[in-house]
Amino acid sequence: MTQQQIADVLGTSQTMYARYERGANELPLRHFVTLCQYYKVSADVMLGLKKQEK
């Protein structure tokens, strides 16, 4: 997916999403939750604390 597509999912701009990707800004918790829901994975999986079950 493009940065713009993910930014649209999060309700933010592509520029701000690019800043999250490169670590210039921290990803807000609400956006983290939205990404977990969008990709249908738990926060533990997204954070790398647990492997996704197949």
High-pLDDT (> 70) share of the chain, %: 98
Q: Is residue 51 part of a domain?
A: no
The domain total for the chain is: 1
In a domain, 18, yes or no: yes
**26 in any annotated domain:** yes
In a domain, 52, yes or no: no
Side-chain half-sphere exposure of 13, counting CA atoms within 13 A: 3
Residue 15 inside a domain? The answer is yes
In-domain check, residue 33: yes
Q: Is position 53 within any domain?
A: no
What is the span of the domain harbouring residue 28?
A: 3-44
Question: Do 7 and 25 touch, CB atoms closer than 8 A?
Answer: no
Q: What is the pLDDT of residues 21-45, one digit of tens each?
A: 999 999 999 999 999 999 999 999 9
Running DSSP on this structure, what letter comes out for residue 2? -
8 Å CB contact between 27 and 52: no
Classify residue 36: in a domain, yes or no.
Answer: yes
Q: For residue 17, how many other CB atoms are within 10 A of its CB?
A: 21
